[in-house]
Amino acid sequence: MAKFVIECPSCGRYAEASTGFFAKKKIECSCGYTINVRTDKMTSRVCPHCGNTIVFDQSKGERALCPVCKEKINTAETLSNCADFFCPSCACQLSADKNAETYTCPVCDTVIDVQAQIVRSNVKKQGIASVIKYEGNNQTFVWKHPIEDFNLGSQLIVHESQEAIFFRDGRALDLFPAGRYTLETQNLPVLEELYKLPTNADTIFHSEVYFINKTVQMGIKWGTDSKVRLFDPATGIYVEIGASGQFSLKVSDSRKLLIKLVGTASEFTQADVIDGNYQLKPTIGKFKAMIMTKVKSNLARVIKENNINILEIDEQLDVISGNLRVSINEMLEEYGLEMPEFFVTTIVTPDDDPNFRRLKQQHSDSYLKVRQEQILKAEAEAAAERKEVEATTAARMKVIGAQGEAEAYKLQAAAEAEAMRMKGYTYQQETARQVGLGAVQNAGKSDGGIIADLAGLGTSLGAIGGVMDMTREAMSPITSGVTSIGRGVFGIMNGSDTWDCTCGNRNITGNFCNNCGAKKPMPADTWDCTCGNNGITGNFCNNCGAKKPELAETWDCVCGNKGITGNFCNNCGAKKPASAETWDCSCGNKGITGNFCNNCGKKKGE
């Protein structure tokens, strides 16, 4: 019968067992666990030689070999190299090789940092801690120091991005900012007041120390656990979308976070915010439900309030992210946390959903329709502008043509006037001379025939009389009968163009009396009424009382068309010229456009 040691699966302690037919099959461990030698003799251990976790038969004693490196694994030396510690999750006492890095608890499957647990176990056995400092990682918001018994005089080290709070019986007491502190009664006023700490530096006091990491922890991932139903008001179609992204988080109030959230937990990490794994241990996200509810309820609201097109949502991610961050921070503030940034990085659209495909088709059709209307509108505006340009060009060409004809007429008239001036007579004299020549050629006719022919030419009797003197040499060969006829005509014409002055002077031919200087009276402006009353001089008819009709304003075109009443010439289409500034002379002459009166020669303004 051979003896060997067997490890208790419950507490990790070793007990003595034997091999053989009459050996005990069940052994009572000091922890109360009944070891079944047949079933519990198989165990796992980290090989101290190669570091692999292997399974071996403990009943082989020192003959048990590692199947990887073939070294002995169950010798007394190996067993003395084991260290005892407690599982941080279930508090079960375990044993592992002192050189091992990790060990999996057989009770709760927690992956344990063996070296850290060995250090903590040694410190607990000593009962005091000389240096108290943060030993967590960068993904931890709150970390509880494993030692709860301290002596006065211990050193407390708090980093720049941390705060340390002492707890006692669930009550947050003294808070320490960044720095190095020697724990003395003057540094612990609340503890001193509450427990009357002794001044002896070797005295141990019991308290819990929590370190709060106040850095901004970034890259915490989130995502909706289900689709968000969204109603598109433009098309009346329901679609389902998903969202995901990342956010950053930091501690804003250490006391509030510890009291309302952490409680007696040993730590609070990123994995405790949203579901995840921390050191290969599954965790429950404390804020998952809150964040998901805020995202789902506010995502659809933000899209609706900001009129965001679901098909163009990627360009509005910053607007959506900002609104969601404000909404979530309202809840996080109650727990002493703050979310500096919240990013929606992905919006998952249901591309396979028939409703979504119909929505994209409607949006495409609407866009094409709008573009087509814009093109048609632009073409219509271009056509109207082109037509207006053509009409303006045609009108300008007509005006230019009319102006050219007028300029040619003016040049011709100026040339004729210059030729007449060089010959020593005026246009009126030339016209009278032509009329006189016509009269001479008809000298053989009777007196009445000559007068009738001259009247038919439309010339005035005064002009004909003036011609007689001018054509005396031309008429000298003609008989004396013709001369007498011309003199008779001259007398008749002079009589018709004379006036009598009030001073007694008669048969005046000029515009002023050569006796008293009085001006020639102007003929009265009369009008005829529709009632039959004629020669009315007043503004109202003295028979029926009707008002004098106003004369229509007319103008003459450069093309020769006269008496036009509209704004455009009905002959060439030229526009009515702007009215020239005119003035009335004191002599009675009206509508003068020049600076001097063409009747009396008076200057404008005198």
Q: What pLDDT, on a 0 to 100 scale, did the predictor assign at position 278?
A: 43
Per-residue pLDDT for 600 more than 70? yes
- Name the residue with higher pLDDT: 250 or 168: 250
pLDDT of residue 28: 83
CA distance 8 to 36: 9
Copy the structure tokens of residue 172. Answer: 């947050």
Q: Is the pLDDT of residue 161 over 60?
A: yes
Does residue 479 surpass a pLDDT of 60? no
Instruction: Tell how far CA 496 is from the center of its chain.
Output: 88
Asked if the structure places residue 247 within a domain, the reply is yes
HSE value, Cβ hemisphere, 13 Å, CA-based, for 95: 16
Average pLDDT over residues 268-292: 70
Q: Which of 59-68, 163-172, 455-464 has the lowest mean pLDDT?
A: 455-464
Classify residue 572 as left (phi > 0), alpha (psi -120 to 50) or beta: alpha
Between 244 and 522, name the one with better pLDDT: 244
- Report the range of poorest mean pLDDT among 28-32, 38-42, 177-181, 545-549: 28-32
193 within domain boundaries: yes
CA atoms of 239 and 243, how far apart (whole Å):
13
Same domain (yes/no): 50, 166 = no
Q: Are 449 and 443 in contact (CB under 8 A)?
A: no
Instruction: Say yes or no: 222 and 343 in one domain.
Output: yes
Q: Which residue has the tokens 């990123």?
A: 270
Q: pLDDT at position 470, please?
A: 47
Is residue 98 included in any domain, yes or no? Answer: yes
Residue 506 has pLDDT above 50, yes or no: yes
The model's pLDDT over 408-438, given as tens digits with 9 standing for 90+, comes to 888 887 887 777 777 776 666 767 767 766 6
pLDDT at 493: 43
pLDDT at 275: 65
185 and 273 part of one domain: no
Beta strands per DSSP E along 362-456? none
For residue 485, name the pLDDT band (cuts at 50, 70, 90).
very low
Residue 288 has pLDDT above 90, yes or no: no
More confident residue, 85 or 250: 250
Domain membership flag for residue 532: no
> Please, which pLDDT band fits residue 213 given cuts at 50, 70 and 90?
very high
Q: Across residues 17-46, what is the average pLDDT?
A: 80
Residue 519's pLDDT is what? 84
202 vs 142, higher pLDDT: 142
Structure confidence at residue 580 (pLDDT):
66
Residue 77 has a pLDDT of 62
| Residue 516 is assigned to a structural domain of this protein | no
What's the whole-number mean pLDDT along residues 384-391? 88
Task: Tell me the average pLDDT of the chain.
Answer: 76
87 lies in the same domain as 145 = no
What CA dihedral angle connects 458, 459, 461 and 467, to 10 degrees? -140
In the structure encoding, which two tokens stand for residue 45, read together? 């251990």
User: What's the pLDDT at 247?
Assistant: 92
Using H for helix, E for strand and C for coil, what is the string for 217-269?
Answer: EEEEEEECCCCEEEEECCCCEEEEEEEEEEEEEEECCHHHHHHHHHCCCCEEE
Q: Give the pLDDT confidence score for residue 62 in this predicted structure.
A: 78
Task: Give CA–CA dist 15/34, Å, rounded.
Answer: 11
Claim to verify: residue 195 and residue 95 sit in the same structural domain? no
How far is it between the farthest Cα atoms of the chain? 195
pLDDT(107) > 90: no
Return the higher-pLDDT residue of 438 and 139: 139
Dist CA 118 CA 102 (whole Å): 11
* Distance in angstroms (rounded) separating the CA atoms of residues 238 and 253: 42
**Is the CB of residue 151 less than 8 Å from the CB of residue 128?**
yes
Whether 503 has a pLDDT exceeding 80, the answer reads yes
Out of 111-125, 279-293, 589-603, give the one with best mean pLDDT: 589-603
Which pLDDT does position 464 carry in this prediction?
A: 46
Greatest mean pLDDT among 241-250, 301-310, 506-515: 241-250
Q: In this structure, what CATH number is given to the domain that contains residue 290?
A: 3.30.479.30
88 falls within a domain: yes
> What stretch of H or E contains 6?
strand 3-7
Residue 406 lies in a domain: no
Q: What is the DSSP letter of 521?
A: P
- Report the alpha-carbon distance of residue 447 to residue 482 in Å, rounded: 9
Bridge pairing between strands 131-132 and 155-158: parallel
**128-137, 199-208, 351-360: least confidently modelled range:** 199-208
Task: Based on the fold, state whether residues 233 and 308 are members of the same structural domain.
Answer: yes
Is pLDDT of 2 > 70? yes
Give the helix ranges, DSSP H, for 424-532. 427-441, 447-456, 461-470, 472-475, 480-496
Q: Are residues 246 and 327 both part of a single domain? A: yes
Q: Where does a domain end: 350, 371, 402?
A: 350
SS3 (DSSP) at 198:
coil
In 29-76 the beta strands, taken as DSSP E runs, fall at: 34-36, 42-46, 53-57
Same domain, residue pair 226 and 291 = yes
Structure tokens at 525: 């402006």
Please report whether residue 251 resides in a domain.
Answer: yes
How far CA 76 is from CA of 5, 512, 566, in Å, comes to 10, 161, 131
| Same-domain check for residues 11 and 116 | yes
SS3 474: helix
Angle in degrees, CA 419, 424, 426, rounded to 5: 75
Question: Is residue 372 predicted with pLDDT exceeding 60?
Answer: yes
* Host domain of residue 185: 127-213
- Give 167's strand partners: 172, 208
The total of other beta-carbon atoms located within 10 Å of residue 74's CB is 22
Please write the tens of the pLDDT for every residue from 314-328.
888 899 999 999 999
Q: Of 213, 237, 252, which marks where a domain is finished?
A: 213
Cα separation, 509 vs 496, in Å, equals 10
Q: Is the CB of residue 372 less than 8 Å from the CB of residue 366?
A: no
- Out of 93-107, 143-157, 437-451, the most confident range is 143-157
Q: CA angle at residue 594 from 590 to 595, to 5 degrees?
A: 100
Residues 141 and 116 in one domain: no
Collect all residues with Cβ–Cβ distance below 8 Å to 80 and sequence separation of at least 6.
none
Q: Do 158 and 43 belong to one domain?
A: no
pLDDT greater than 50 at residue 462: no
Q: Is the pLDDT of residue 129 over 60?
A: no
Indicate the number of domains in the chain: 4
Confidence check: pLDDT of 151 > 90: no
Q: Residue type for 55, please?
A: V
> In the predicted model, what is the mean pLDDT of residues 14-21?
78
Whether residues 240 and 314 fall in one domain = yes
Cα 558 vs. chain centroid, distance in angstroms? Answer: 58
Question: Is the pLDDT at 281 greater than 70, yes or no?
Answer: no
Looking at per-residue confidence, does 271 or 236 come out higher?
A: 271
Q: Which of 518, 541, 522, 517 is nearest to 531 (CA)?
A: 541
Residue where a domain stops, chosen among 213, 229, 259? 213
Q: Give the residue from 544, 543, 542, 565 showing the smallest Cα distance to 555.
A: 565
| Reported confidence tier of residue 88, pLDDT bands at 50, 70, 90 | confident
